[in-house]
Chains A and B, each alone.
Chain A
Amino acid sequence: MGARIVVTGVGAITPLGATADETWQSTLRGESAARDFADLAAEGHRVVRACRIENCDAPQERRGRALAIAAAHEAMHQAGWTNAPRRDAGGIFIGSTLGESAAFEQAGAGKAIDLRDYAVSSFCDAIAVEFAVTGPREAIATACAAGNYAIGAAVLALRQQRASWAIAGGVEPFSKLSMVGFARSRAMASHDCRPFDAQRSGMLVGEGAGMVVLERLDDALARGAHPLAEVRGLGLSSDAHHPTAPRADGRGMARAMGAALAQAGIPPAEVDWVNVHGTGTRASDAAEGRALREVFDRVPTPALSGSKGALGHALGAASAIEAVLCVLGLRDQVVPPTHGHETVDPEIGLACTRERTVPTRRPMRVVMNNAFAFGGINSTLVLTRYEA
């Protein structure tokens, strides 16, 4: 067990809000950003329903870095920093799926473009330039689990003293390439995204950015910062099974959850809330349900909620945005509703929250944030309420 690592600031920009708190309040109200887009229909997309940020005026090929910088500014502000401290010791850890997807689309359309300026690492570089920090940078490309990975990477760097503070998270600008790819993979919803619901038919593509500021607890307290939550563990595993489909038995997912809890030193009985990956696809939700039943087979199932019915699937940003929501849930002691979840699927046998849920049995202390991805990647991040 290394140094305790705490979250001292969060930021998010999503289709439901320009800040973390706006997103959180909209989520608590049960809102969804899903709607049909005329431009997608005009361009010939078979699926035209999505969750998009509609007031971002950045150039398309710079949209991701604009979202990342906005979320990072909010997180830094909440951490109490207008200017970055110890710039040589600040680390930037960013996960994403495709980088600036619009740039790759422009290149595919024939535009001469140096794609090295638009890869995932360009998000790290943009944030580093924005805050003039020169510490370690990690660009992590673990698809739809990248946000969890980035936070874990930052925790490791802080524990190894390679950085003294960090901005970590995920970003994904809206991707027409992903709209087409997931549609052709038959992963898209026929209408809305309905996590863990009996009538679920698939996912909706979203976009956004979620960022956290992380510090060693001693450093945070020494400067008078207020820890919002503690990062306790990141469990990882690989299915080694199929290019896109998860193992149907959920074994790899359960292994990631178990590894995260073992690393955190927290037994399943103490988990209060699981933010499920819950893409709304038949296969992934069924596998996650089996994994959850295995992990919690001897203890009461914790509260389960999912955000992708409200926000869409923001791919590489999704788990970072959801980690931000987990922090805010621990702060406010409330689990948000799961938009789109109405009828329990008998095959899964697990109910998600249908409305905002305030725990009554005990104060909510432990939340698990699940994120899985193409290629059989499984990740679970464990966060706890900050306790001295």
Chain B
Amino acid sequence: MMASGVGRILNDELVRGGSVVALRASLSLPLPSAASEQAALEAVVDEFAPIFAGVPTVDGERDGALLVVSDDAGAATAVNFWRDALAAGLGFASPAAFPWCLANAPCATIARRFSVTGPNCTWLTPFVDSRGAFDAPAAWLADQLCANSYEGTPREAWLVALHFGAQSPRVMVWHWSGTGNSAESVALGVAIRNRVAEDWSTTQ
């Protein structure tokens, strides 16, 4: 299915009360050595396509939430941007590099590439404790999937974990869908957190 990395089509369901969330697919890829974070992500972003393909676009838009967690997005670009600006003169800094100084640039890039127009969010947090790192994104994810979806229409969300640093730079993408209500979202958030933290820890 994938050109490289580890990709899986899954239908692992987590059920709590009347709520069901399912891990539809996941993908783990090493990030290539590249001159910038932008270049590293853009080198692999097309390989995410199968993870988004399960949700068709409607009028050119793909409805769902896109949540990104990273420990270092933007940091290297910011340092290099300023280094280059000092070298070239402040009036000659790279305007194209500036947006990548912001940690949400990867989320914006993925949203644009796959036309995801729902909520997006980026957390910057150390991966030292992977369960802790995924606490907040998993809680949001469960809320996005469960809240107000009483009508039974599945809601979609993608979670992306990114590490650009020198040691083992890599990306993981998970596609979740679900229906349910807010009452179960806490328990489901914990279950989602445990699953993605385990995946992140075991696929290094």
Contact = CB atoms under 8 A, between A and B. Distances in A.
Interface of A: 2, 43-46, 97-99, 101, 104-105, 107-110, 115-116, 119-121, 136, 138-143, 149, 153, 156-157, 159-162, 177, 180-186, 236-244, 252, 255, 373-377
A236 B119 contact: yes
A181 B99 CA distance: 8
Contacts of A185: 95, 98-99
Given A98-B78, A141-B124, A142-B104, A237 B118 contact: yes
Given A120-B124, A243-B99, A108 B83 contact: yes
Interface stretch (B21-29, B85-93, B149-157): B85-93
A277 B104 CA distance: 19
A231 to B, nearest CB: 15
Given A44-B89, A185-B95, 19 more contacts: A2-B182, A46-B90, A104-B79, A108-B80, A108-B81, A110-B83, A116-B126, A149-B121, A160-B139, A160-B189, A181-B81, A181-B93, A185-B98, A185-B99, A237-B117, A243-B99, A243-B105, A252-B117, A374-B108
Given A374-B104, A376-B111, A238 B66 contact: yes
A161 B61 CA distance: 34
A180 B122 contact: no
A191 to B, nearest CB: 18
Contact of A238 (B82, B120, B186): B120
Nearest to A247: B117
11 contacts: A108-B81, A110-B83, A116-B126, A138-B136, A142-B122, A181-B93, A181-B98, A237-B119, A239-B117, A242-B112, A373-B104
Contacts of B73: 141
Contacts of A242: 112
Interface residues of B, number: 55
B145 interface: no
Contacts, number: 168
Contacts of B71: 116
Interface in B58-82: 61, 66, 71-75, 78-82
B185 interface: yes
A141 B82 contact: no
Contacts of A157: 139
B91 A44 contact: yes
Contacts of B120: 142, 236, 238, 375, 377
Contacts of A181: 81, 93, 95, 98, 101
Interface in B129-179: 135-136, 139-140, 143
B101 A238 contact: no
A183 B89 CA distance: 13
Nearest to B60: A240
A161 to B, nearest CB: 7
A108 B136 contact: no
B20 interface: no
B31 interface: no
B136 A136 contact: yes
A239 B108 CA distance: 9
Given A177-B101, A374-B108, A255 B117 contact: yes
B123 A377 contact: no
Contacts of A240: 61, 111-112, 114-117
A98 B74 CA distance: 8
Contacts of A375: 99, 102, 104-105, 107-108, 111, 120
A286 B73 CA distance: 30
B125 interface: yes
B51 interface: no
Given A238-B119, A375-B108, A180 B90 contact: yes
B161 to A, nearest CB: 14
A244 B95 CA distance: 10
Contacts of A97: 102
Nearest to B143: A156
Contacts of B80: 108
Contacts of B119: 236-238
A96 to B, nearest CB: 9
A105 B90 CA distance: 12
B103 interface: yes
B4 interface: no
A202 to B, nearest CB: 14
B78 A104 contact: yes
B102 A374 contact: yes
A109 B72 CA distance: 19
B88 to A, nearest CB: 11
B79 A141 contact: no
Nearest to B107: A375
A153 B98 contact: no
Contacts of A136: 135-136
Contacts of B99: 185, 243-244, 374-375
A287 B182 CA distance: 33
Contacts of B185: 160
